[in-house]
């Protein structure tokens, strides 16, 4: 067993709790969890695999909470979930051959557009206007689920924001859009974990304690979202999007 000090254990679990509290609602927890794991000295690919393993534990808890509260459209998600899983598995496989750094400028631009659009539509997502999928919308939703699954496995930053935004566009309120996006993100995380485990890029001694903290964070985060509604989810979504923009700009400049 690896030597995991009490100080490092407490640090990772605290970071995992905060990351999952945020991630369970709007995504973006990786901006906290990944840097925390980097401080342990693990190789970058193992950091990514370890983070995904811990995140799966938190995202599963989040999805269950949203489903139990009726905040996931299971009729839609049952069709989109497999596409997210397949896309993510292909993304993780592809990243072994093609470095994803070239996506950073594009991701920044897309996140800025998503944030500005959401800011301008002040009452957007307060109530649901979703009335089911037409043929064209169904194809587009499937394509988006697959593409964002691939993106999550290949690169990842902002996946939760993009998913939530996509569900808002087709008429869901903020809380149900959040529940739907967490369900798809869980699918892409599962696929990524399987591939990372297969190539031996998960440190389980770090992932499991961090994952336990993420379960607790997910319970707290989803409870807050379901209780407070759009008044809580919308500003959190905008704040995390802004943080992601800042993080990606920092990475580009350094």
Ramachandran quadrant class, 72 (left: phi over 0; alpha: psi -120 to 50; beta: rest):
beta
Q: What is the pLDDT of residues 192-220, one digit of tens each?
A: 899 889 989 899 999 999 999 999 999 99
Q: Which residues in the chain show pLDDT less than 50?
A: 1
Provide DSSP, 178-203. HHHHHHHHHHHHHHHHHHHHHTT---
Distances (CA, A) of 157 to 31, 151, 185, 219, 224: 8, 9, 12, 23, 23
Q: Are 153 and 87 in contact (CB under 8 A)?
A: yes
Q: What is the pLDDT of residues 114-150, one digit of tens each?
A: 888 888 887 777 788 887 777 777 888 899 999 999 9
Question: In the numeric block, which tokens belong to residue 46?
Answer: 């193992």
pLDDT of residue 230: 75
pLDDT of residue 1: 45
Residues found in the chain:
254
Distance CA(209)–CA(140), nearest Å, equals 39
Q: How many CA atoms lie within 13 A of 243 on its CB side?
A: 19
pLDDT of residue 202: 93
Count the neighbouring beta carbons within 10 Å of the beta carbon of residue 143.
12
pLDDT of residue 248: 80
The ranges assigned to domains in the chain are: 6-253
Question: In the numeric block, which tokens belong to residue 41?
Answer: 């000295």
- What is the reported pTM? 0.85
């Amino acid at each position: 067993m690896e030597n995991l000090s009490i100080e490092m254990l407490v640090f990772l679990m605290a970071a995992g709790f905060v990351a999952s509290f945020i991630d369970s609602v709007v995504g973006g927890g990786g901006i906290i969890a990944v840097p925390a794991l980097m401080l342990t000295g693990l190789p970058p690919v193992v950091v990514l695999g370890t983070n995904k393993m811990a995140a799966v534990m938190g995202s599963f808890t989040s999805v269950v909470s949203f489903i139990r509260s009726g905040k996931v459209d299971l009729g839609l998600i049952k069709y989109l979930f497999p596409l997210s899983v397949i896309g993510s598995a292909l993304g993780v496989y592809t990243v072994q051959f093609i470095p994803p750094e070239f996506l950073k400028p594009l991701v920044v631009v897309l996140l800025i557009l998503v944030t500005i659009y959401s800011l301008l539509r002040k009452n957007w997502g307060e109530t649901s206007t979703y009335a089911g999928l037409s043929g064209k919308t169904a194809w587009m939703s499937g394509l988006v689920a697959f593409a964002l699954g691939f993106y999550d496995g290949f690169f990842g930053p902002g996946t939760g924001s993009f998913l939530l935004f996509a569900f808002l566009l087709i008429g869901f309120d903020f809380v149900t859009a959040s529940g739907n996006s967490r369900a798809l993100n869980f699918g892409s995380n599962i696929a990524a974990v399987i591939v990372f485990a297969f190539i031996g890029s998960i440190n389980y001694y770090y992932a499991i304690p961090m994952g336990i903290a993420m379960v607790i964070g997910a319970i707290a985060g989803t409870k807050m979202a379901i209780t407070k509604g759009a008044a809580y989810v919308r500003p959190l979504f905008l704040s995390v999007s802004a943080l992601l923009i800042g993080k990606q700009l920092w990475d580009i400049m350094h």
